[in-house]
Amino acid sequence: MWKRFSALWTLLRRDGRLLWFALRHPDAPRWLRPASFGLVLYAISPIDLIPDFILGLGIVDDVVLIPLAVHFMLKALPPHVLRQAEARAGATTVRAR
């Protein structure tokens, strides 16, 4: 079970890093910044699809919907932007070690 959480955390870090570098790319689509801003607002907003007071399910919508949204945003990027974001993310990972 911990291996699954570790794999999920690695995937989330990777996608988050890719989104960060894609946001900073000069050819990033116009919809990317507002979509990312809306996603951050949803993450910090007290209003959720499933209320947090429902035990167990309140957190699940944040844990599932936010990574899915980031994943779909990355899939909708132009290929050259995604490739360059991956290259920059890979370069920072190698430097950090």
Domain of 95?
48-97
Q: Is residue 35 part of a domain?
A: no
- Percentage of the chain beyond pLDDT 90 is 38
Judge whether residue 86 has pLDDT over 80.
Answer: yes
Cβ count near 76 (within 10 Å)? 12
Q: Is residue 43 part of a domain?
A: no
Asked if 48 contacts 62 with a C-beta cutoff of 8 angstroms, the reply is yes
What's this model's pTM, rounded to 2 decimal places? 0.74
Number of folded domains that form the chain? 1
